[in-house]
Amino acid sequence: MTENNLEPVSISSLLNESFFIPAYQRGYRWTERQVEELLEDIDEFQKNNASSTGEPFYCLQPVVVKRLGDEWEVVDGQQRLTTIRIIMTCLKTQAEAMDMTPYRIAYETRPESAEFLDRLDQERSMDNIDFFHMYQAKIAIEDWFETKGAGYKLLFLQTLLGGERDRLKVKAIWYQINEEVDATTVFTRLNVGKIPLTNGELVKALFLKSGNFKDTKDDDGYLKQLKIAQEWDDIERTLQKNDFWYFLSNKSSEANRIEFVLKLIADQLASKTQTINPHDKYYVFLVFSHWLEEQESGDIHEEWARIKRCFMTLNEWFSDPNLFHMVGFLVSRKTQVGAILKAFNGCSTKTEFRAWLKATIFNVLFPDLEPLNQYTDPDHLESDISDFVGQLSYENNRQSVVSILLMFNVATLFLNPSSNARFQFDQFKTGTWDIEHIRSVTSDMPRAPRQQKDWLSDIIEYFYKKPMEATGAGSELRPEVGGMLEEATQLLEGETFNSDRFEKLFLAIHTLYAQDSDGEAEHSIGNLALLDSTTNRSYKNAIFPIKRNRIIALDRDATFVPICTKNVFLKYYSDEVDNMLFWNSRDIESHKSAMTATLRKFFKNDGGAHESREDNQL
C-alpha cells in the first residue's frame, strides 16, 4: 500500500494477528490504576448499553501500526494492546469456551515476552522490569474481577471480543501507516506531541484514504483526493487567522482549528442516528467514522461538501458587518455556535435570521424583561431598557454589567454602517478585562506602602507635566494643588514613609477631583467602563486626568482600547466639557444615557431594511 489507512476495528478481528514492539519503544509500564481504568470503562460501557438503545461500540484510543512481513510493527498503542492481551490470559478459560485465542504480541528487547504473556508466571516476573509490570497488571486484573459476581468474566469477555455482528463490542482506532514511512520518526513525533493523533488528523485520514477514490480513473481519483486535501488546508489556514477564530471561539487553539467545524457537523450527525458519548476524547472521529460507514451512496465528496457548506456559512457571518457583530457578541457571552447555526438553518431569509439574533441578544442582556417581539410601543422598550441599565452597579450584577458594557461597544460600531470599523473580538478575548471605575472611589485607596508610593509617584509626575494646573494665576485650585504637590514630594522623599499622612493627602486629592461625590452614582454603571487588567491594576486608584492620559497614550500607540472606553475618557458622551480634568455626576448620567440610547436604537434598528431581495436569501 502507498496510502495511510484508517478505520475502527473490533478486537475480535485482531485475534489472528501478530504484533511486534520494536526496541525504540520503552517497555510495558501501565500502573494498577491505568489497568483498572480500562476495565472500568469497558464495564461501564457494558452496563450503560444493556438495552438496544446503547452506543454502537466502545472505542479505544488509536493504535498506529506498520506492516512488517507477517507481523504488525506497533508504532503507538502498545500499552493498551499488551493490557488487553493480559486480560485475555486472565480470562483464558472463558476465551476457550468461546473458541477464541488471543493475538500474539512480542517485545524486541524481551525475546521471551510472547511466551511469558501466555502464562504470566510469578516465578519469572522478576526476570526483568517488563515482566514485573506485566505480572502486576495481572494481579490488578484478577483482584478487580474478584469484586464481580459469578459469570461476569464471560459477560465481560463477550463485550470485549464482540464479533462484527454483535451489538456490544470494543474497537480500536486502527491507523496503518504506509510501508515507506519511517516508523521511528513517526513514533518520536507522536510522543513529543508535535503531531498528536487529534480528531482533525483522524477525520482527515478518513476522507483522504485511497479507498474513497477506487471507483474513479487513476488520475481523476488522485486529482479529487488532492482537491479535498487542498480545501482542507484552505479552511485550516483561514481559521488560523485570529480575527476569524476568536469571532467563533472563546478558547485558544494553536493547531487543528478545523476541528471546530468538524465538531459542529458531528453534533448534527450524532443527533440523527447515533448515541456516541460526546465526552469521548475521539467523539468527532467516531461520529464521522460511523456515519460514513452507514452511508449507502458512499460518496465521500457529498459528505465533504457538507463540511464546506458549514465553513462557508461561518465565513459569510464573518464577512457581513451586521452578522459579525451580533454573532460575535453572542459567542463572547457563551452562546454556542451550534445553536446559532441551527437557528440559521431554520430561517428562510437573512432578515429572519437577524431578527432571531437580536431577540437572542435581548434575552442575554435583559433576562428579566419581556421577549423583544412583545414590545410594540417604542417608549415602553426604551423605558424598560433605561430602568434595567439604571439599576446596575459595581456592587451587584457583575455579569450583566460586563454584558451591557460589551454590547455598548459592539452596538456603537454596528450602528455606524458607513464605517469599516469592527469590534476586535480577538484582542478582547486574548486579554483580561476588568470593570473599572472611571472616577476612582475612596474605598480604592491603596493600602500597602509600596502601592501608596507608586500612587504618589504618578501624582507628582502628572502635576509636573501639567505645570499650569499647579502654578500660575486665574484659578482658585492652583495654590491648593501646589500645596498637595509639595506634600506628596515630602512624603515620597522622607526617610520614613508615613501612611497616616498619605491617607490624609489621598482623601484631599480624591475630594478635589471627585467634586460632587455621590456614593451611589460612583458605583452605578455610568461610572464604569471596560479596561484591560494590566492598565486597571496600575491605575485603579488614580485620579481621572491620570487615567485619561493613560487611555490617550494607549490609543496613540495603537493599543486596543474598546471604543466606548476611549469615548468615556475623552468625555464624548458629556454635555459639558468645559473641564477635562474632572468626571462628575453629570458626566456619569450622560454616560448612562448614552448606553440606553445606543441599546434602544440597536433594538429598534431593522438592520436589513436596505438589503436587496437577492441579498436577503439564505
* Residue 62 within any structural domain of the chain: yes
- The pLDDT assigned to 507 comes to 81
Cα–Cα distances in angstroms (integers) from residue 574 to residues 50, 267, 393, 525, 602, in the given order: 68, 49, 20, 15, 21
Shared domain for 330 and 467, answered yes or no, is no
Question: Any idea which of 68-77, 300-309, 541-550 has the lowest mean pLDDT?
Answer: 541-550
578-597 pLDDT, tens digit each: 667 778 888 899 999 999 99
Mean pLDDT of 561-569: 93
Q: Which residue, 319, 335, 361, sits at the end of a domain? A: 319
Q: Which residue, 195, 219, 240, sits at the end of a domain? A: 195
Domain count, the chain: 4
Question: Any idea which of 34-43, 59-68, 585-594 has the lowest mean pLDDT?
Answer: 59-68
Shared domain for 265 and 283, answered yes or no, is yes
Give yes or no for a contact between 463 and 474, defined as CB atoms under 8 angstroms apart.
no
Q: Which residue, 509, 542, 559, sits at the end of a domain? A: 509
- The pLDDT assigned to 470 comes to 41
* Residue 484 within any structural domain of the chain: yes
For the cut 90, the answer to whether the pLDDT of residue 615 exceeds it is no
Question: Any idea which of 103-112, 177-186, 416-425 has the lowest mean pLDDT?
Answer: 177-186
Query: What are the contacts of 561-565 at 24+ separation with CB within 8 A?
Result: 562/409, 562/423, 562/428, 562/529, 562/530, 563/409, 563/412, 563/413, 563/421, 563/423, 564/405, 564/408, 564/409, 564/412, 564/529, 564/530, 565/409, 565/529, 565/530, 565/531
Name which of 581, 461, 595 is nearest 526 in CA terms. 595
* Residue 514 within any structural domain of the chain: no
Shared domain for 381 and 312, answered yes or no, is no
Cα–Cα distances in angstroms (integers) from residue 76 to residues 2, 118, 182, 484, 613, in the given order: 20, 22, 13, 71, 56
Shared domain for 267 and 410, answered yes or no, is no
Shared domain for 295 and 362, answered yes or no, is no
Shared domain for 338 and 392, answered yes or no, is yes
More confident residue, 345 or 444: 345
Shared domain for 461 and 543, answered yes or no, is no
Which residue segment(s) compose the domain that 483 sits in?
A: 446-509
User: pLDDT-based confidence at 93, cuts 50/70/90?
Assistant: very high
DSSP characters for 11-60? GGGGTT-EEEE-TTS------HHHHHHHHHHHHHHHHHTSSTTS-S-EEE
User: pLDDT-based confidence at 471, cuts 50/70/90?
Assistant: very low
Q: Give buried/exposed letters for 173-202 (b at 16+ CB in 10 A, else e).
A: bbbbbeeeeebeebbeebeeeeeebbbbbb
Distance CA 4, CA 282 (A): 19
Q: Give buried/exposed letters for 118-131 (b at 16+ CB in 10 A, else e).
A: eebeeebbeebebb
State the amino acid at position 585 in one-letter form.
S
* Residue 25 within any structural domain of the chain: yes
Mean pLDDT of 223-232: 85
Shared domain for 469 and 415, answered yes or no, is no
* Residue 515 within any structural domain of the chain: no
User: pLDDT-based confidence at 188, cuts 50/70/90?
Assistant: low
Distance CA 52, CA 481 (A): 82
Shared domain for 73 and 183, answered yes or no, is yes
Shared domain for 62 and 109, answered yes or no, is yes
More confident residue, 201 or 521: 201
Question: Any idea which of 146-160, 259-273, 462-476 has the lowest mean pLDDT?
Answer: 462-476
* Residue 517 within any structural domain of the chain: no
Name which of 288, 63, 286, 17 is nearest 186 in CA terms. 63
For the cut 90, the answer to whether the pLDDT of residue 325 exceeds it is yes
Shared domain for 23 and 155, answered yes or no, is yes
Shared domain for 18 and 144, answered yes or no, is yes
What is the residue whose three cell numbers read 470485549? 160
Mean pLDDT of 344-364: 96
User: pLDDT-based confidence at 4, cuts 50/70/90?
Assistant: low
* Residue 357 within any structural domain of the chain: yes
* Residue 516 within any structural domain of the chain: no
